[in-house]
Structure 1
């Protein structure tokens, strides 16, 4: 059975596009892309892939609750099984998360529980660790604290720059995210 997915993004959308290209083999169908700004490149990727997209511009709402209500209303018309965060740079409220309990999945660019938050790659690089990586996890009310689904390590070489490390992390993300989603959808988590 194919699961219906909504992808939330806030930026370029390279992980969204990768998921869309690998969705059939991973057992899901992306029904809609939700973005939080009209200026994100992910919208162009959705258009190219013929995937419906909806802009829920955070700046248009006076409160987080109103913003999240608009998202819930937008998603409600698509019979969504899972919400997949792909570079969505908003912290969702506990109320929103509880409405989709164990059905929101996030990708984080570090080996959690290390280097939580917005700057996982840069934080790991600046700290000087020799191994970092990528984590796919369920979203809970904490920041990057949900149950880990899958992880992949990335070695930081002596000659790596922050940019080369970012490139390596993104390659690891492109492999890990579809595999981890397939694992969830197959009931192996």
Structure 2
């Protein structure tokens, strides 16, 4: 099972919080980290670097699951049990991509098809449910990535966003990086 995508196989991190998170996971403790920052600030890079670090230290790959919010929202493969009693370590990436991907969009596309609207609503509900189930687990360590607290509230609703933020043991704000 490959947890780390090839493009991030050499990912590294120097975040002190990453050291704490990895040390806690490797010692068997439960720990949770929320990485916040604008698009392209390195959230995903740091998260995979942390997963790579625990894997390199011997953590079993089958004890880690990775979920992209886009896949939960637009896919048909959401299984609530994966978040309710899933792996001990879970990485949820791009929790705010529904809003982040719209930055700079000035013209709204009208979706008139009721079927499309219902599929979009169900997908958003799946993401909200997955986050709620994950943060409700006492035995789960996790990494979650989002652009900011306000955008989390827009994407997940205020109650679930607050639950995510307050259940995180560490919240790290990453600064923007210059574009290549």
TM-score category (smaller protein): 0.3 to 0.5
Which fold has the larger relative contact order, with Cα–Cα distance below 8 Å and residues 6 or more apart in sequence? 2
Richer in strand (by share)? 1
Richer in helix (by share)? 2
User: TM-score normalized by structure 1?
Assistant: 0.31
User: TM-score normalized by structure 2?
Assistant: 0.32
